Structure 1
Amino acid sequence: MHVTVQETGPLTTESGAPVADNQNSETAGLGGPVLIQDQSLLEKLAHFNRERIPERIVHARGAGAYGTFTLTRDVSRWTRAKFLSEAGKQTETFLRFSTVAGNLGSADAVRDPRGFALKFYTEEGNYDLVGNNTPVFFIKDAGKFPDFIHTQKRDPYTGSQEPDNMWDFWGLSPESTHQVTWLFGDRGIPASLRHMNGYGSHTYQWNNEAGEVFWVKYHFKTNQGIENLPVEEAAVLAGADPDSHQRDLREAIERGEFPTWTVQVQIMPAADAATYRFNPFDLTKVWPHEDYPPIEIGKLELNRNPENVFAEVEQSIFSPAHFVPGIGPSPDKMLQGRLFAYGDAHRYRVGINADHLPVNTPHATESQTYGRDGALYDGRHRRAKNYEPNSFGGPVQTDRPLWSATPVNGDTGNHEAPLHAEDNDFVQAGDLYRLMPQDAKDRLVTNLANAIAGVSADRDDIVDRAVGNFSQADADFGRRLELAVKELRGQHR
């Protein structure tokens, strides 16, 4: 039975203050970076990070391996990062793959985005690139992330994942149409962790020695070839062998069949961003290759398994805020929120000294901080002073920021992103559909129809909104989906 929930008053913070805008994070002007003074956002993200213990809130189910990144092209004209300075240079890495929604004991062969979190142990400190196997995401503002993930987790009343919740949120969030089209296509269930691409997903800043700024997107193209699981085969495999993907990765490395990825980047001169045809910092969109062709810069190889899964995979931490000189953030509002949320989650889940664990500590340099004490502190600083400045010696600040300044303008406030000529939630979803061969379109429509048909019989409004979004992406897409859903829901009644 459907229960109507009545509104009880204004949305507030935990302290009872009204929330004026729960859709847009506060930024420094139109399109500027997110402000730390947005306490509604910080409280929401911090609360979300502490909702489950001790496993990860998202990306709990994971596998990892060590490897090597080899630079095949000098890219110092775009960035001063030392590990990207000389062709042939090698950097040790650790890569953690994961599903997103499932818990630690869930199966591998399920329809879900895959996390692709890569740690570079560079001589200037650890650089973390925390992406997915999809180049886009469901939302474009970090303030909506806790809401989105709540729809993917177990319902507070039923204790189960509920189609009503997922499709209600996606239908009310048209920006998700592109990623949902991707997720319910063939690549939604990869055959293995070795047979899928990885992406940095966000836009990042590169800056060179001359101070020039460029915006960049990362692509990791699998050299094993893209392979996906048919729905029926995946369902059998998930039940018969829940650890299928983890086992495949481990055993491939044990056999000496080291998986590799070709690393590419798309590079946009900073001046292009303001007049580009859509917001280049919108995480729900890709940069068309004809506008910014991918440039091959290196090769990633995984060649060593962890010795202990808990110590090295479960206790590994990644944060998009872990930059090195020459690389920095962009005004991407999802990225801006993640810069805070990931470190906060690690400090809560693993502990304040998580960076001291071998998998997380720098391998090619030494960490030197004035941070002390906390759970599991090992006393490594001995009697050294714990403040700065001091006259007893110790690490001192550098004169040059890691990244270049980003211009801002306008008043602070809860702004939507600045408008560009082609800012639209549906264009790229439609483009993706039209790129698919006919048999892939058929499978996409079937997958979506089966999922949407699971919405409660008395909630046709949720169904109509969901189908309507795909109709706006492509008329044929929407028409076929509408007919398929109606047929299935007629059978279910």
Structure 2
Amino acid sequence: MSVQDQAASSAGPLTTESGAPVADNQNSETAGVGGPVLLQDQLLIEKLAHFNREQIPERIVHARGAGAYGTFTVTADVTKYTRAKFLSEIGKETEVFARFSTVAGSLGAADAVRDPRGFALKFYTEEGNYDLVGNNTPVFFIRDAIKFPDFIHTQKRDPYTGSQEADNVFDFWGLSPESTHQVTWLFGDRGIPASYRHMDGFGSHTFQWTNADGEVFWVKYHFKTDQGIKCLTQAEADKLAGEDPDSHQRDLRESIERGDFPSWTVGVQIMPAAEAADYRFNPFDLTKVWPHADYPVQEIGKFQLNRNPQNIFAEVEQSIFSPAHFVPGIGPSPDKMLQGRLFGYGDAHRYRVGINADQLPVNRPHAVEANNYNRDGFMYDGRHGAAKNYEPNSFGGPAQTGRPLWQPLEVSGYTTEGKTPLHAEDNDFVQAGNLYRLMSEDEKERLVSNLAGAMSGVSRQDILDRAINNFRQADEDFGKRLEAAVQALRG
């Protein structure tokens, strides 16, 4: 019996909005075992679409953020891996817009809080905009987008108390053991970056690269800060959040104003497609990393931020990013979280900013014109004039190329809502335990202290025990020390 079944109440079966009973609320429906997610998964679409419309007008997640423009420069030849033109030659420059953010806080929240940081990049390439929407951590709390609305609800204000509740946070994490790895990251020393300039970034998901010959490679992106990693202790963050809620936004703006342009070294891990099936971890599981010993990070470029936006609302708040914005030679993977985000992000922006959000200056392509048959809607500027609004047509309108942006994925089997098959070393705790054991004694003490402080507010012993047990399964010493620290705080 699963932990979800054990925790089930006597309220009756979970249903869709139309009243149909839900068979599986933990796994999206896929094309065959481990295949890409299907659009016919009505529950997934209903949950994501409803979630995107719960609040207006600010972003439901990543509301609090700052942005800047800059350039990306290629420093290595990667043409044997991808045919993307912006990566086609050493020295090639592409304009970039970056937005950094916290996840759970609202627009008025403080910057210096313990929370993952969004790390979103928009490359204005000659083949259209390429958006890479990542975080400052290489992993995430969940592996399936069907659980994303539930997860974010636990991080937001409780519907009764109006506050974030430790019961909700650790109840969900305890019932979702795949979160153990990310929670260990979040409550460790890198959980509160000192600024946006002093943190690394990650694409987090696995993406497909395809070369000119149609060969497929799986890749993970890494952005290593050239300023060095700097982080805050919980005490330092608490003080800074109260004294200067805009600390990170101010730091980014002022550093660019004085000509101290922040930069990052861009690297990728590259896995030949044929190696994915037998890799020891599921390479498409967002709660897992690829150990660098297996697939070293290879430098491919540098990006630098050197220009501030002139109007925060127009250029930062109205900026939109979608992981579905690919260019030829780059595409998605069967990562179930990524598959959900391909729909969820664009849908959120169509609702939040409007159906013509892509036409705003910060969002529209800068190196090529968008050329399609989308018309009308709120804030439509009439740019297409009297041109025909249908395809195919006999009036010289834009036509399809016949060449997909990426290679198709092979799928087989029946549609299913089951879990993705485990690889040889797949479980929810091994990488969290490895991360813990890599830490120094001082780092372990701070991790345990940070977690114990957050968990001390949990009111129910069963929720506390289940959450602690996840860390004990990652490492016996981790769980033992955490249990003792929580007990000491609770008296």
Q: Same fold (TM over 0.5)?
A: yes
Please report how far the alpha carbon of residue 410 of structure 1 lies from its aligned counterpart in structure 2 after TM superposition.
1.2
Aligned to 1:373: 376
Q: In 1, distance between residues paired with 2:421 and 2:94? A: 38
The answer to whether the 8 A contact 1:129-1:200 is kept is: yes
The answer to whether the 8 A contact 1:109-1:190 is kept is: yes
Q: In 1, distance between residues paired with 2:298 and 2:394? A: 48
The letter for the 2-side match of 1:463 is L
Q: In 1, distance between residues paired with 2:342 and 2:271? A: 22
Which of 245, 251, 257 is equivalent to 1:242?
245
**3-state SS of the aligned residue for 2:182?**
helix
Please report how far the alpha carbon of residue 5 of structure 1 lies from its aligned counterpart in structure 2 after TM superposition.
9.4
Aligned to 1:326: 329
1:306 aligns with 2:302: no
Which of 295, 299, 307 is equivalent to 2:298?
295
1:481 aligns with 2:482: yes
The letter for the 1-side match of 2:485 is A
Aligned to 1:337: 340
The letter for the 1-side match of 2:416 is G
CA deviation vs aligned residue, 1:244-287 (integer Å, no higher than 9, x gap)? 00000000000000000000000000000000001000000000
The TM-score with structure 2 as length reference comes to 0.98
Aligned to 1:39: 42
Q: In 1, distance between residues paired with 2:19 and 2:427? A: 35
More off after superposition, 354-363 vs 402-411: 402-411
**3-state SS of the aligned residue for 1:262?**
strand
The aligned runs of 1:62-211 (5 Å cut-off) are 62-211=65-214
Aligned to 2:416: 413
Aligned to 1:316: 319
Please report how far the alpha carbon of residue 417 of structure 1 lies from its aligned counterpart in structure 2 after TM superposition.
1.0
Please report how far the alpha carbon of residue 485 of structure 1 lies from its aligned counterpart in structure 2 after TM superposition.
0.7
Q: In 2, distance between residues paired with 1:176 and 1:182? A: 10
Aligned to 2:3: none
CA deviation vs aligned residue, 1:205-247 (integer Å, no higher than 9, x gap)? 0000100000000000000000001111110100110000000
The answer to whether the 8 A contact 1:218-1:263 is kept is: yes
Q: In 2, distance between residues paired with 1:226 and 1:288? A: 20
Q: In 1, distance between residues paired with 2:273 and 2:8? A: 47
Q: In 1, distance between residues paired with 2:323 and 2:212? A: 22
Which of 374, 386, 389 is equivalent to 1:386?
389
Question: Which consecutive unaligned segments of at least 5 residues does structure 2 have?
Answer: 1-6
The letter for the 1-side match of 2:469 is G
Q: In 2, distance between residues paired with 1:147 and 1:269? A: 34
The letter for the 1-side match of 2:167 is D
The letter for the 1-side match of 2:31 is A
Q: In 2, distance between residues paired with 1:358 and 1:417? A: 41
**3-state SS of the aligned residue for 2:480?**
helix
The answer to whether the 8 A contact 1:29-1:415 is kept is: no
Question: Which consecutive unaligned segments of at least 5 residues does structure 1 have?
Answer: none
Consecutive aligned runs of 4 or more in structure 1 exceeding 3 Å deviation: none
CA deviation vs aligned residue, 1:91-131 (integer Å, no higher than 9, x gap)? 00000000000000000000000000000000000000000
Aligned residues, how many?
485
The answer to whether the 8 A contact 1:260-1:302 is kept is: yes
Please report how far the alpha carbon of residue 8 of structure 1 lies from its aligned counterpart in structure 2 after TM superposition.
2.4
Q: In 2, distance between residues paired with 1:438 and 1:8? A: 46
The letter for the 1-side match of 2:85 is K
**3-state SS of the aligned residue for 2:10?**
coil
Please report how far the alpha carbon of residue 415 of structure 1 lies from its aligned counterpart in structure 2 after TM superposition.
2.0
The answer to whether the 8 A contact 1:142-1:336 is kept is: yes
CA deviation vs aligned residue, 1:342-383 (integer Å, no higher than 9, x gap)? 000000000000000000000000000100000000000000
The letter for the 2-side match of 1:255 is R
The letter for the 2-side match of 1:414 is E
1:440 aligns with 2:454: no
Q: In 2, distance between residues paired with 1:170 and 1:8? A: 22
Q: In 2, distance between residues paired with 1:30 and 1:227? A: 42
Q: In 2, distance between residues paired with 1:47 and 1:436? A: 40
Q: In 2, distance between residues paired with 1:140 and 1:5? A: 21
**3-state SS of the aligned residue for 1:221?**
strand
**3-state SS of the aligned residue for 1:57?**
coil
**3-state SS of the aligned residue for 1:217?**
strand
**3-state SS of the aligned residue for 1:158?**
coil
The aligned runs of 1:395-410 (5 Å cut-off) are 395-410=398-413
**3-state SS of the aligned residue for 1:289?**
coil
Aligned to 1:10: 13
The answer to whether the 8 A contact 1:68-1:301 is kept is: yes
1:353 aligns with 2:356: yes
Q: In structure 2, do the counterparts of structure 1 residues 403 and 5 end up closer, same or farther at CA, with 3 Å as the change threshold? A: closer
The letter for the 1-side match of 2:311 is N
The letter for the 1-side match of 2:58 is E
